[in-house]
Structure 1
Amino acid sequence: MTFRTRLAGALLAGAAVAAVPAAPAAAHPFGPPSTARISVDGSHVAIAWLAAEDDWVALGQSVGAFENPATGSVSTALTGEQKLQRSAAVRDYLLGRITVAQGGTPCPGRLESLERLVAQGARLAFDCPGPAVDLDVTVSALTDLDENYRTMLTAETPATPAQALYTARQQTTRLRFTASGGGTTAAVTTVAAGTAAAAAIIGVLVLLRVRRRKGGQA
């Protein structure tokens, strides 16, 4: 474990806060990329974005979620992770930089609970106007701090492409989800279609039997 990671862990745990510099120098834009997972169910879209501890520190410092020991006192009543969870600026930042659009129309998004933020990431939910098929997904978190940051997104619901790399220059990707990604909507449609087909077949069989009976009586 590097000193940078130990320092970030100390801040998030609430210890040695005064030793953390105000600038996001502890971030590691040249390290492994942040990751994100996306899944769809009907018109509902879920995205979980996970960053390293020191990147959460950098993000929190950039939006003022942590006190600056150089300009005032630092409260130790909350851990660094709790300060991130309670920061309206952090929430606004995430909702502004992780977005989903359908047919050029933004899908309203909301941020789920930030409990276990470091372990489980930021979980966002979006409700689109129609079933999720073609979606424009934008991820630009952290690239405003350093253009070398990247996020690797993986589709948990079958989609093309199945993975997408987001950079400062490539912040939006169009994902096309297959029929199996339609969730409840697709399932209901499939069942309805199957029921209609079965009813049609039964109707034909009944009609044939009636005709045969009439032919026998004649």
Structure 2
Amino acid sequence: MPFIVAVVAVLVPAQTAAAHPFGPPSTARIAVDGDRVTLAWLPAEDDWVALGQSLGAFEDPATGADTTLTGEQKLARSAAVRDYLLAHVGVTQGGRPCAAELEPLERLLAEGARFGFECPEPVVTVDVRIAALTDLHQAYRTVLTSDTPAEPAKVLFTKAEDTRSVRFDAPEGGGVPLAVPAVALVAVLGVLVLLLVRRRAPAPPAASDKPAEPAATPGTGE
């Protein structure tokens, strides 16, 4: 039985919420392609349980639990969980929010919560916000790793600092427009070299520069 199902069946929210904040941090991965940012947030299974319980994604055991669905399925179908994730994970570019989309959560234990963000411009520098779970306990934190070359390559998000700026390298093809000025520069240099060669070459003598015919000597009859 998956851990999350067992924990949900037992339902010990106080112990679950207090246990993991002091363990390893949650992880997240980010990548950039043009004006699109993808981000996957991957908390531990007990953190999903703590989050689901805080949002009412699971039944009150006093009223009877639905045993036809696993805890993962209940989280995936919870509108409150989806709203929470969209409210606590975001990307902005130049102060403007990038349009967020949250993919279905059916495989949240294996793949996490997967987001796609469409930004107004091709992405170079964006502000990333990950504030999930820190409202449950201030000790929660997330380490973000970039799959696209970035500075910094790893970022720590905490209760006190839930928004961090990340700068990515220019996307592939970003240098293509520079090829046109380069070609133009080569052409200009070629013209300059040709002009210098022509200027240095000796010019053919003009007709007026030909030596004069010798004058006839008096008395020779010529």
TM-score bin, normalised by smaller chain: 0.7 to 0.9
- Aligned counterparts of 1:97 and 1:10: Cα–Cα separation in 2: 22
- For structure 2, which runs of at least 5 residues remain unmatched after alignment? 205-222
Decide which of 37, 47, 52 is 2:44's aligned counterpart: 52
The percent identity for this pair of structures is 54
Corresponding residue for residue 26 of structure 1 = 16
1:76 equivalent to 2:61? Answer no
SS of residue paired to 2:40: strand
TM-score, normalised to structure 2's length? 0.79
Report the CA distance between 1:211 and its aligned residue: 10
Corresponding residue for residue 191 of structure 1 = 176
Deviations 1:89-117 (A, max 9, x none): 11111111111111111111110122321
Corresponding residue for residue 156 of structure 1 = 147
State the AA in 1 paired with 2:32: V
TM-score, normalised to structure 1's length? 0.80
Deviations 1:70-96 (A, max 9, x none): 2x1211121111111111111111111
Q: CA contact under 8 A between 2:8 and 2:58: conserved in structure 1?
A: no
Aligned residues between the structures: 201
Report the CA distance between 1:206 and its aligned residue: 7.9
Root-mean-square deviation (CA), in Å?
2.7
State the AA in 2 paired with 1:156: D
State the AA in 2 paired with 1:54: D
- For structure 1, which runs of at least 5 residues remain unmatched after alignment? 1-5
Q: CA contact under 8 A between 2:4 and 2:49: conserved in structure 1?
A: no
Decide which of 95, 102, 111 is 1:111's aligned counterpart: 102
SS of residue paired to 1:168: coil
Mark the CA change 1:24 to 1:38 in structure 2 (over 3 Å): closer, same or farther: farther
State the AA in 2 paired with 1:44: R
